[in-house]
Amino acid sequence: MTDAMGTWPATIPGAAKAAAERWPDVPGLIVGERAWTFAEVWADARAAASAMLASGIRNGDRIAIWAPNTREWILAALGAQAVGATIVPMNTRFKGAEAGDILRRARVKILFAPGDFLGTDYAALIAGEDLPDLQEVVRLDQAWDSFIARGKGTQDPAVDAELAKLTGEHICDIIFTSGTTGRPKGALTSHRQAVQIFGDWAVRVDLRAGDRYLIVNPFFHTFGYKAGWAVCFTRGATIVPMPVFEVAETVRQIEQNRISFLPGPPTIYQSLLQELDGGKPRDFSSLRVAVTGAAPVAPALVERMRSELGMSNIVNGYGMTECGAISMTCQGDDAETVANTCGKPLPGIEVRCVDDDGNDLSSGQPGELWIRGHAVMKGYLDDPLATREAIDADGWLHSGDIGTIDDRGYLKITDRKKDMFISGGFNVYPVEVENLLAAHPAINMAAVVGMPDERMGEVGRAFVVLRPGAAVTEDELLRWARANMANYKAPRSIRIMPDLPRNAAGKVLKTELRD
């Protein structure tokens, strides 16, 4: 393992083309019972690129993909990017008005969406929206073949002409922030930025040629797209997409396709451990690497993943839409380091921890994390003011995340700046309280939010999910919390929940908990 920046193709289609040349006969994609080699995936992507040209898509245009993790998602993205277009990935949980807002602001010309996903026709959701730039909706599950038939096929020379114009400085995507705090903003990222940071990410996490990568994280999210299918082309790993997370299907994929690489939130690994305890024989021996980062992970879970799931390499990390990947732990880091830090910065990335005046803080002191380097976005779509607020004149991205940097240079995220609350004059960082609660033997996961209080200003309320078979009352948990953490940190109320509300990327929706 090295901390030097690697040498990678300049563009995402360039990576797919290079994979086809380097590993032509290796399975590049598996869906159901069907497999496609890297050469076949690239040939299909070229056919999609030809169809894009036949549909009027040109260099600089935008197409949107509003769909679950499927083969057609990948091909639509590669086909558009190969002709110089920018993709706009869209959250499958959007309602019509949310989708319409993004399609309108990004001036999308073609939308690719399923005619039926979980009973929803996405085109019907936007039927009443004013979308002057949208020329058509291609239903991925019903009309993909007819869309491809518009073009001249995989050998179309016009595709080569467009590929020759494509550079690493072209914008590969516009990914809109989650919008949990106000109107979503579209982050602009270039091909070179995406391929470089996630190529280096792949080295850090040990994604290898020949790995089978089960992609549970949604393609509309950086984790499922750039740290998902796109990076498989740079490393020669087989893409195994999963449209909807289901425990039984995850088990089937692991056993049938010998999955070795499985990123995701801690709940995925907790589900697999429950499968091992379920009485049925399970073969998880192929699993090697787990990558988490969507939620806190307890040291005990890391140890169980190693000892019971047999995952020899478990890494935790930190990233954001505006910078892709930022830091990762390293192979061989102990369970405490994996659970309680986000690792050290990736090659070419600088991180500072500063106070409210922008002064650097000493080791272990919490402050806002600022990031600078080649992966920081180009800016927000049509929003120079928001861009200036996010990235200062010296190129530092102000993350809005509160964290610390220890003597080893490892980062720890204590909370979002906006999530910190003040109780009786003391700063309370919910993630710290959640980690303390996770030490209770009955608690499987916890989320803490600040609630208004007349005397204290705000007090903590915890929402917890118990481990299977655990029996404990809310009052007992409150007494334990008071005995095991500082008074100002201890929640004033605890609610036992069957599960926590999450977005499609696995992150807990604290806005819903507050409501």
pLDDT at residue 178 in the model = 59
* Tokens 């998880």 found at: 284
Q: 163 in a domain, yes or no?
A: yes
Distance (Å, whole) CA 53 – CA 391:
36
For residues 313 and 205, the answer to whether their CB atoms sit within 8 Å is yes
Q: 347 in a domain, yes or no?
A: yes
Q: Are residues 249 and 364 in the same domain?
A: yes
Q: 328 in a domain, yes or no?
A: yes
Q: 94 in a domain, yes or no?
A: yes
Look at the chain and report how many structural domains it folds into. 3
Q: Distance between alpha carbon 316 and the CA centroid of its chain, in Å?
A: 13
Query: Of 390, 416, 442, which marks where a domain is finished?
Result: 416
Q: Are residues 186 and 259 in the same domain?
A: no
Q: Distance between alpha carbon 284 and the CA centroid of its chain, in Å?
A: 24
Q: 226 in a domain, yes or no?
A: no
Bridge partners of 317?
Answer: 328
Distance (Å, whole) CA 45 – CA 72:
9
Q: Are residues 374 and 426 in the same domain?
A: no
Q: Are residues 268 and 348 in the same domain?
A: yes
What is the pairing mode between strands 349-354 and 289-292? unpaired
Q: 218 in a domain, yes or no?
A: no
Residues of the domain holding 506: 421-514
Q: 206 in a domain, yes or no?
A: no
Q: Distance between alpha carbon 309 and the CA centroid of its chain, in Å?
A: 23
CB atoms within 10 A of CB 40: 17
Q: Which DSSP string corresponds to 448-509?
A: EEEEEETTTEEEEEEEEEEPTT----HHHHHHHHHHHS-TTTS-SEEEE-SS--B-TTS-B-
12-57 pLDDT, tens digit per residue, is: 999 999 999 999 999 999 999 999 999 999 999 999 999 999 999 9
Give 211's contacts (C-beta < 8 A, 6+ positions apart). Answer: 235, 237, 238, 260, 261, 288, 289
CA distances from 305 to 59, 273, 337 (A): 46, 8, 15
Q: Are residues 454 and 439 in the same domain?
A: yes
Q: Are residues 179 and 36 in the same domain?
A: yes
Q: Are residues 376 and 484 in the same domain?
A: no
The single-letter DSSP state of residue 228 is I
Q: What proportion of the chain, given as a percentage, has pLDDT over 70?
A: 96
Q: Are residues 507 and 454 in the same domain?
A: yes
Closest CA to 8 of 372, 397, 396, 348: 348
State the pLDDT confidence band at 417, using cuts at 50, 70 and 90: low
Q: Are residues 284 and 348 in the same domain?
A: yes
pLDDT at residue 180 in the model = 39
State the pLDDT confidence band at 509, using cuts at 50, 70 and 90: confident
CA distances from 365 to 68, 247, 316, 320 (A): 41, 40, 21, 22
For residues 24 and 52, the answer to whether their CB atoms sit within 8 Å is no
444-494 pLDDT, tens digit per residue, is: 999 999 998 766 778 999 999 999 999 999 999 999 999 887 787 899 999
Name the maximum alpha-carbon separation found in the chain. 72
Closest CA to 239 of 28, 15, 23: 28
Distance (Å, whole) CA 489 – CA 471:
24
Q: 168 in a domain, yes or no?
A: yes
pLDDT at residue 67 in the model = 97
382-400 pLDDT, tens digit per residue, is: 999 999 999 999 999 999 8
CATH of the domain at 259: 3.40.50.12780
For residues 122 and 113, the answer to whether their CB atoms sit within 8 Å is yes
Query: Of 416, 431, 456, which marks where a domain is finished?
Result: 416
274-312 pLDDT, tens digit per residue, is: 999 887 899 999 999 999 874 567 788 899 999 999 999
Task: Read off the pLDDT of each residue in 433-443 and give the average, rounded to a whole number.
Answer: 90
Q: Are residues 81 and 171 in the same domain?
A: yes
CA angle 328, 300, 492 (to 5 degrees): 95
Query: Of 388, 416, 444, which marks where a domain is finished?
Result: 416
Q: Are residues 411 and 428 in the same domain?
A: no
Cα dihedral sign for 153, 157, 158, 164?
Answer: positive
Q: Are residues 87 and 108 in the same domain?
A: yes
The single-letter DSSP state of residue 287 is -
Q: Does 181 score more than 50 pLDDT?
A: no
CATH of the domain at 453: 3.30.300.30
